[in-house]
Structure 1
Amino acid sequence: MKKILQASLSAVLVLSLVGCGSTKDEAIYQDSIDAYVNEIDMDYAYDFTKTLSTDTSLHDNSLGFRTSGSDAEHRTANYLAKEMKAIGLKNVEKIPVNVDKWQYNDASLTIEGTNIDLMSVSYMVNGTDENGITAQIVDCGTGFAKDYEGKDVEGKIALVGVDQFNESWIGGYIYEAYEHGAKALVTYDLDGYGRFSDDDHQIQDVCAEDIMPTTIITMSEYKQIKKALKQGHDMVTLKVDSVMEEGNGTSYDVVGYIPGKSHDQQIIFAGHYDMYFTGFQDDCSAIGTIMSMAKTMIDSGYVPENDIVVVAHGAEEWGATGTEFDWTRGAYELINNVHPE
């Protein structure tokens, strides 16, 4: 990982300095390039990324979530603003933007007559009240209309295997369960993006309206439930501490500057700092990279031709309900409603 970060830090600087990369330009800027490379601090890049990813004070729950407008996202914005100032970025701003808030804190799924007690993971919808939903759970196969034939799920909890890569996005499964009267939906992953093992949670943005509590469990956990159902244990209690507030959230885009010789143009280094499951790769490593690039430029004494703007934006993993463009909310609000210039 450190080698990948170092390659990124070096390559992007060269592109920033030499433009189209001609031999003449490279010679002109060689001193700046050498000074920059000498100041690269891979320990800072890695340690900063790791802190942003794994520091539990920057999480909302034990799974390492930091989501749109949540308490953890607000704490992390403060942390990023403080760090931007510490490395020497100028005019650091913590810019509030309007989002749909989603904060997932905890969940549990228990089955009467068994010792099954799982932490199912909520999608970007509201959860249950503190008492949860106690009802029958019905195995509805792969969650399409034909899988509900002959099954009564009215007022019950539907259990569905999903494949969001080859079959349908999660919204399709939610709406199908809703049409058949289910009170909540519990899913498990059959196949999909980045599937690694039967112990993975494969959550994706819902791209759907907030119509029922919806969670995901692992394939291994599904096998436990399937065994319990065969033994006649089908009464479950689902508790989900998940809060979605449409139009009532505030996220922060954190922005800092390396002033250039000219302010007519800007070069923007950007990434998002919200995440699921500690998100080292998506997208803490990007924030670690752009922060390290900025720190190295400042430490090397480099003065860019144009302003360099470092942007850490929130509300990318999710920030708007009922749309496939939920991942654009933090950036969209910044460039359309706050800083269109």
Structure 2
Amino acid sequence: MSRQASRPTHPVEAAVDEGFMRSVVEQMSAIGSSPLGFRVAGTPEEDEVCALLADTMRSIGLEDVRLEPVPVDGWRFRGAALEAAGESFPCASFGGSPPTPPGGIEAQLVFAGRGSRQELERVGVAGRIVLVDWPGDHFLWPSLTAAEATHAGALAVVCACLPGGRFYQMDGALGAFDGIWIGGSVPLATIAGDHALRLIELQRSGSVPARLTLEVELRPGVNGHNTAGTIPGRRSGPPIVVAGHHDGWFSGSFDDATGVASTLGIAKAMLDAGHVPERPILFGSHTAEEYGLADSAFDWLIGASWRVNEEHRNWGRSVPFYLNIEGSGMPLPMFIDTPPELRRFCRRVCGSARRDGLLPYGVQYGVPRTGTEQWPYLAAGIPSLNVNTLPRSYWRTQYHTQYDTTEIVSFADLVRETRLYARFVMTADAAPEALLNLGARASDLRHHGRLEVARAAGFETQHVDAALTRYETVASTGADWLALRAAFATVARTLESIHARDKQSTLHLQALLDVESLDAALDALERENLGAAARAAARSGRNRLARHVGREVFELDAARHRPGHPGFGWAAKARTTPSPGLWEELASLRGEPGSRAPGPWLASSLRRKRAASARELQRRLDRIAAVFERAARRLELGS
């Protein structure tokens, strides 16, 4: 494929400054709480990076530069090591883990496979340091293994992503992530996969005395900060918002110093070119994208969620457009996460960008994800995009490791990508009414909402179909911008949801999966196929965990996913589904020691929980119909 040189077609695009963005990335990357780096929310290092960004904003001419406080639980990494077999192996950790005592923890090191409760019991981990393999499963997070190991009497956990895993697949790669930590668990450190393999071999040959040292500072109830600076528009009103996140694991150069540098690169280019937007544009960065809330199943996206749900509550129904910039600066396809309503806008902008050489590697579209700060903006009702050039090879090797440094950033590509991002912002600013193709949401729901499955299972969906048809019809007749914007917010604030694995979904889909799973389990039970019944039931809610953790940890996890838990955080805006908990039923179906024997009670219990899920599904289908009817009325009033 030929790679034509990019041709800036606007003075702003021509003014994008490579040296400026390189300087921002290098300065941010140099700030860290340890020799490995780490600039985490609520720490002196975050204070330092926020001061740097505020000074930079003022120096390029942004107005109303400010730091907006965000309540967080700080976690400051200072260093970690595992001493064993006469060597000292460097370690890192996951956000939220407590430290070891000052002298470390000394005990025998044992390998317990993936760290399931069965493996922990088989090995016998009481009084020991446990080494486990985490393959990168987003459902079975290491915090659950640490909690289970704690209940089994372990003193600490060391986690590795062995060869073939999803993350950290480079020699010597240490890993970090948000901990999704469970309070009261023993300390957890991470170790490179190749180092772990050596220790596993040694442990198979005999006992391996070890000492783990993890030095971190827990800083509960402090403030992190979001940053902001504005270019005023020709008219006043709600701003367009552009941002990345300034916290990061290790040096965090690509993720996400490049996103912040690109954000400020757009601002500087506009100011240098003398561009005056139609409406204000707020350029900023968020705290605690990576981690910021202790003892929480939802410990990430804290800064962005606070900004739209607390600091600027009016934004959800007023901000015209939000552009979230994640890791950028690689010679790879552009990845754009977009809700259905903005797909046409994206294709139009990307079509012109392709002709001008700004997309030499093409573009790939995806759906909004709970792993980026686009999601809280979208769930609040704001039209938004997430853009990045994060390839799979990066996810498997350098992501959240010490290899995420300035050396992997292609600054020439960052310039090209920033020109494209600027084009998105300027196009949205010039004609916000062209942003939204409202009918695309109804079409998407028809194609991907599995309404025909719900209908076949006996649920009422005709009113949903009727509401979608009315919405599509009214949306095609034209309405003013305020009516379009209000309709978008009305729909997004109801439909955007998360499923049981804490990933993005649509309001009713988890309840539908719960009903399907329980129907399949009951059918298998009627055929006396207990294994098939267990496999089907485990597909509902978070019940897959029942095979891996004990009942106490299972119930702790369930409590953390219910409204009212102190760590429920931004999930309160995510319209979670009250899926059934099936610990007792699954233990019985699997014949686990001490479990209740199968009998008539089992089918009765599954039917009762299926009925509750069915009521929840119908309630959510009714809500979808109502919200599209309400949005259609808004459009009719604005026509």
Structure 1 and Structure 2 fold alike (TM over 0.5): yes
CA contact (8 A) 2:136 2:167 kept: no
SS of the residue aligned with 1:229?
A: helix
Q: Does 1:137 align with 2:109?
A: yes
Aligned with 2:196: secondary structure? helix
Deviations 1:167-191 (Å, cap 9, x if unpaired)? 7222221222122111111111134
1:181-217 C-alpha deviation (Å, 9 max, x unpaired): 1111111113444443242223322213132100110
In the TM superposition, structure 1's runs of 4+ consecutive aligned residues that sit over 4 Å from their partners are: none
* Higher mean displacement: 155-164 or 297-306: 155-164
Structure 1 residues 188 and 332, CA, compared in 2 at 3 Å: closer, same or farther?
same
Q: CA deviation at 1:50?
A: 2.7
Secondary structure of 1:82's counterpart equals helix
- Aligned: 1:334 with 2:311: no
Could you report, residue by residue, the CA deviation over 1:37-81 in whole angstroms, capped at 9, with x for unpaired residues? 33221222223223222x2xx111111211121121111111111
TM (normalized to structure 1)? 0.84
State the partner residue of 1:117.
88
User: Do the aligned residues in 1 keep the contact of 2:15 with 2:272 (CA within 8 Å)?
Assistant: yes
CA contact under 8 A between 1:127 and 1:213: conserved in structure 2? yes
The aligned counterpart of 1:220 is 194
Match of residue 412 from structure 2: none
For residue 326 of structure 1, give the secondary structure of its aligned residue in structure 2: coil
Inter-partner Cα distance in structure 1 for 2:136 and 2:179: 11
The answer to whether structure 1 residue 103 and structure 2 residue 76 are counterparts is yes
Residue of structure 1 in register with 2:368 after alignment = none
Higher helix proportion, which one?
Answer: 2
- Aligned match of 2:64: 91
* Segment drifting more, 309-318 vs 143-152: 143-152
SS of the equivalent of 2:228 reads strand
Amino acid at match of 1:229: Q
Q: Which residue of 1 aligns with 2:209?
A: 235
Asked if 1:257 is matched to 2:233, the reply is no
**1:299 counterpart (239, 262, 272):** 272
Following TM superposition, by how much is the alpha carbon of 1:338 offset from its aligned partner in structure 2, in angstroms? Answer: 2.6
The residue aligned with 2:50 is 77
Contact 2:74–2:219 (8 Å) recurs in 1: yes
Q: CA deviation at 1:233?
A: 4.6
Higher strand share: 1
Q: Work out which of the residue numbers 101, 113, 118 in structure 2 matches 1:146.
A: 118
Q: Secondary structure of the residue that 1:106 maps to in structure 2?
A: strand
Q: Give the number of aligned pairs.
A: 308
Q: How big is the shift at 1:122?
A: 1.7
Contact kept, 8 Å, 2:82 with 2:89, in 1: the verdict is yes
Q: Distance in 1 between matches of 2:41 and 2:215?
A: 16
For residues 59 and 194 of structure 2, the distance between their equivalents in structure 1, rounded to whole angstroms, comes to 45
Could you tell me which amino acid in structure 2 is paired with residue 296 of structure 1? A
C-alpha change, 1:148 and 1:34, in structure 2 (3 Å) is: closer
Bigger Cα displacement from structure 2, 249-258 vs 122-131: 122-131
CA contact (8 A) 2:177 2:249 kept: no
Match for residue 583 of structure 2? none
Quote the offset at 1:121 in angstroms.
Answer: 0.8
State the shift of 1:304 in Å: 0.5
Deviation readout 1:198-246 (Å, 9 max, x if unpaired): 4222332221313210011011111232243245352211111112233
Q: 1: CA distance between counterparts of 2:282 and 2:166?
A: 32
What displacement does 1:89 show? 0.4
Change (3 A) 1:286 1:123: same
What CA distance in whole angstroms lies between the structure 1 residues aligned with 2:61 and 2:133? 50
Structure 2 spans left out of the alignment, 5+ residues: 315-639
Aligned equivalents of 2:43, 2:138: Cα separation in 1: 31
Q: CA deviation at 1:155?
A: 2.3
Within the candidate set 141, 155, 170, 1:169 is matched to 141
User: Contact conserved, 1:189 with 1:201, CA < 8 A, in 2?
Assistant: no
Q: Percent identity?
A: 28
Structure-to-structure mapping, 1:26-41, within 5 angstroms:
34-41=10-17
C-alpha distance in structure 1 between counterparts of 2:294 and 2:152, whole Å: 22
- Which AA in structure 2 matches 1:123? F
Q: 1:68·1:251 contact (CA, 8 Å) conserved in 2?
A: yes
Q: Give the whole-Å Cα distance in 1 for the aligned partners of 2:50 and 2:292.
A: 16
Indicate the RMSD between aligned Cα atoms, in angstroms.
2.2
Structure 2 residue identity aligned to 1:34: H
- Preserved CA contact (<8 Å) 2:142 2:159: no
Distance 1:293 1:73 in 2: 23
- Larger RCO (CA under 8 A, 6+ residues apart): 1
SS class of match (2:239): strand
8 Å contact kept, 2:109–2:210: yes
Task: State TM-score, norm by structure 2.
Answer: 0.46
User: Structure 1's 120 and 336: CA in aligned 2 closer, same or farther, altered over 3 A?
Assistant: same
Cα shift readout 1:69-98 (whole Å, capped 9, x = no counterpart): 112111111111111100100010012211
